[in-house]
Structure 1
């Protein structure tokens, strides 16, 4: 059968037809009407309770530890009881988690959600003063930490009760408070009477351009993304002409997924931890990212799916090219969180013999996935982040807020049941970003006639040379296509006559050599002259990045001239 067996429009019509898993219906949510999934889970307590059906199947694997679904349910339920009975946590109170991706992170998170607390994940990379500021901003009553975070918070003014979930220290420990996992009773946490639109999370934004804001989300937001995560594979099956939906099974088949992304980021939580819980998947965790260690885990655990940021995907591909590890078990290499060069999809297909690449687009404010691309569509359009999930309404608008024609650049606006309530305790910022029922992403994109979206730049990163808009991602992709380039960041450099000119900071791959002029010639052969970097600075150290994998351009900018005469 030739591909595609169905157009995008035909595929969407089939996937969203009455009775299908992606069927939507209008719902009133906090004063606005959105198209919500008819079959979405009502709240996260339901997801946790239903996970017991997977019994002794492993949910989390960390080093030599394996935590089954049943044991995880008992531990999360015990933590929920602890929150209510010892700490007086009521529905709507904030409970923070600040630690590495240890299994205890999940236990504390699901326990908090089960009793109606607002889960507040904190960026474990941050120093003590920043963690303390987030705790104060959220008003968290309890914070579960590991030993590293406990030490960082020492000396900080923290009103929240501390629970040491892992490691040694001078705070009450999770093990002492709930007891050994092997002895936990078959007893649920107190039921707070949850509804879909109750607040569930405060995720602090990446903060690449300033102080992070708390994105205030609901159970419906998480449940919507849970449905969205299944959209890529379903769309690919229909486009390919495969039978869909597949025959119903008593339980979803076991599936192992490697997750080096932090749970405190929406990709790690919304698009990995929650789907694994709902679908009986096994998440294999890493203490820290290392491409060689990842290859070992792929072989040991027979990993089928990978969830990465593009930088990790590049590093894994490079490590795999010189490895004898059998990668035939991997069927999906997914990445997102930052722009990815089109060449990455081709490299993934070349190195992983049975795998399809996929990438998603989303934001903290959209509860992870808004659009996705994968399988044959990804290979046809490797530079696109895909089409919108069925529940998401998108607009691409000009500076005046008017819709632009297909193929024209504009800012992406999003509306749907995945969009959060706003920013915690910041009404002015909420109105600026979410006013009128549309979330203004700040991303400049193009959308073609079929709905495929290509990310061009952040509106704040776009540079203007002599009145001409230049999108940094386009130039970064060209630089990344040079075999010697490991990382590239393009920024505007102020210049007296033109306003701005193109500057670039580049890191070369280990063992490779290239002069700035070599890279400029490479760019000149592929770009119009006004987009070729005028200044190109080589850097030895890896780029500074946030937890989402985005390069911190504000730190890289100091390596370029402040201004050209």
Structure 2
């Protein structure tokens, strides 16, 4: 079966009585999850959703997420997942750009999603726990799974660089099925007895492929945590018997410094996986010593489904390295002109393989710029050592990674420019010991205008998700510019503790 929802159908047939998803006291077996997803598919169909339609999903890591996710896929539709922390204007952009027909929202995201849906004329269904379950129970399940071709879209993940508006990376059923199989079979060696930690956001490629789809493909259990908290994560590690921990560097740092509860036992933990940003070597070693488990780093992007490289579990790993290209994927280093970089030299990572997206939704120009001769150009710079291991050394793009979340400066700058006192603004990342990077804004005010740092912060905070607004705000008479008037971010130097 080509449809990605076939992962659940197959595991329900093979592991029906096993627990598929656990969230606190809620546990769904594979048979139950399969049945609920079939009811969700029928519910969507009854509301006019047809194969190829886009369906938005605005939910945290709760048990309803996989029900809705596989239900959308089962109906032959395309999942458009969104961060439940987004504000209405951000959700509205995604709904409008993707042409979403209907959006499903968790109660916590109801207000912002409903406002966005009203703005765009999109149907909205709020998944209130009791009401949603009653609605599913009253719906006759959809028989079978809608057939889809390998190159039909399964998911559109919205991402962007530092220029332009967010772009929807279109991932096909084949992209996601193959990357999931590679992750489950060759990287995690996942099996039915495994329990995977589900603290990575499922609206993101890392959480979707490496946690949700990998767990389902293996017939394993996914232990969900709606919002990461180190104490809650430790309880899940011990109480649920987690065997595979997946996290971003800030999660590792938090767990490394958290106090262990009395009687803490994580002896079932056999593997820890890190991605999303570079994991400091001292944190890696500290985590391994504290939890007695190897930590393996990998690399990927939304556009690559996401896994492109990984430290293979059956070979020596190198701390600080993203490892080797994974099965079905090729990597090369290229110069600014697209030629192969000289041996030993730093170059831009280009990726080719079964994991590379079909393209950006309705953005042929952006697709042509990013994917050339079948190679996706990542914008990340790397080097390769004598053993063929890859090391990311920098990012060409100005994207900020704050606590594992991507923050795109251009988006925040647009909001800053909406403030009546702001003449010029630039957003950059500054080092942060806990989060990796913090968002900083440098602002030049209009003549005779006045604004405080708190006012600027609150202006942005009211208009974007909480992780995006600049905690650091600095004022300047004028921003540095080049001959053409372009702001030169490389010349902006900020002391986070200074003024």
Give TM-score scaled by structure 2 length: 0.78
CA change 1:210–1:285 in 2 (3 A) is: farther
1:436 to 366, 373, 377: 373
Counterpart for residue 2 of structure 2: 42
1:212 equivalent to 2:176? Answer: no
| Aligned-partner SS, 1:201 | strand
1:417 and 1:338 map into 2 onto residues whose CA distance is 23
1:137 to 87, 92, 97: 97
CA change 1:209–1:255 in 2 (3 A) is: farther
State the shift of 1:213 in Å: 1.0
- The 5 Å alignment of 1:275-294 reads 275-294=214-233
Cα RMSD (Å): 3.2
CA change 1:443–1:215 in 2 (3 A) is: same
- The 5 Å alignment of 1:449-460 reads 449-460=386-397
1:300 equivalent to 2:239? Answer: yes
- The 5 Å alignment of 1:140-539 reads 140-156=100-116, 157-167=119-129, 173-179=131-137, 187-189=141-143, 191-205=145-159, 211-229=165-183, 230-233=185-188, 252-319=191-258, 325-353=264-292, 355-373=293-311, 375=313, 379=317, 381-461=318-398, 505-507=430-432
State the shift of 1:337 in Å: 0.9
1:150 and 1:425 map into 2 onto residues whose CA distance is 28
Counterpart for residue 116 of structure 1: 76
CA change 1:107–1:208 in 2 (3 A) is: farther
8 Å Cα contact 1:345-1:378 kept in structure 2: no
CA change 1:56–1:426 in 2 (3 A) is: same
1:363 and 1:46 map into 2 onto residues whose CA distance is 24
8 Å Cα contact 1:356-1:375 kept in structure 2: no
CA change 1:210–1:373 in 2 (3 A) is: farther
8 Å Cα contact 1:358-1:378 kept in structure 2: no
Counterpart for residue 21 of structure 2: 60
State the shift of 1:159 in Å: 2.1
Counterpart for residue 50 of structure 2: 90
CA change 1:321–1:445 in 2 (3 A) is: farther
Counterpart for residue 484 of structure 2: none
Deviating more after overlay: 279-288 vs 201-210: 201-210
2:176 and 2:9 map into 1 onto residues whose CA distance is 16
Gaps of 5+ in 2: 402-408, 410-427, 436-456, 461-466, 481-490, 493-499
Counterpart for residue 104 of structure 1: 64
1:458 and 1:190 map into 2 onto residues whose CA distance is 44
State the shift of 1:327 in Å: 2.5
2:137 and 2:99 map into 1 onto residues whose CA distance is 28
| Aligned-partner SS, 1:192 | coil
2:102 and 2:93 map into 1 onto residues whose CA distance is 14
Counterpart for residue 496 of structure 2: none
2:472 and 2:337 map into 1 onto residues whose CA distance is 30
8 Å Cα contact 1:128-1:149 kept in structure 2: no
1:504 and 1:433 map into 2 onto residues whose CA distance is 24
CA deviations on 1:359-401 (whole Å, 9 max, x unpaired) are: 110000000100001558565x201000001211111011111
| Aligned-partner SS, 1:263 | coil
Counterpart for residue 28 of structure 1: none
| Aligned-partner SS, 2:321 | coil
| Aligned-partner SS, 2:155 | strand
Counterpart for residue 88 of structure 2: 128
CA change 1:155–1:162 in 2 (3 A) is: closer
2:256 and 2:475 map into 1 onto residues whose CA distance is 30
CA change 1:47–1:252 in 2 (3 A) is: same
State the shift of 1:56 in Å: 2.0
Deviating more after overlay: 320-329 vs 368-377: 320-329
1:80 equivalent to 2:41? Answer: yes
CA deviations on 1:155-194 (whole Å, 9 max, x unpaired) are: 43132221122358xxxx53343227xxx87x55454322
2:279 and 2:475 map into 1 onto residues whose CA distance is 23
Give TM-score scaled by structure 1 length: 0.69
2:186 and 2:30 map into 1 onto residues whose CA distance is 25
2:161 and 2:199 map into 1 onto residues whose CA distance is 21
| Aligned-partner SS, 2:174 | helix
CA deviations on 1:11-41 (whole Å, 9 max, x unpaired) are: xxxxxxxxxxxxxxxxxxxxxxxxxxxxxx6
8 Å Cα contact 2:6-2:145 kept in structure 1: no
State the shift of 1:63 in Å: 1.4
State the shift of 1:460 in Å: 2.8
Counterpart for residue 405 of structure 2: none
State the shift of 1:406 in Å: 3.1
State the shift of 1:311 in Å: 0.6
CA deviations on 1:95-133 (whole Å, 9 max, x unpaired) are: 111111111111111011112111111121210111011
| Aligned-partner SS, 1:44 | coil
Gaps of 5+ in 1: 1-40, 235-250, 463-471, 474-490, 492-502, 511-540, 545-550
8 Å Cα contact 2:312-2:324 kept in structure 1: no
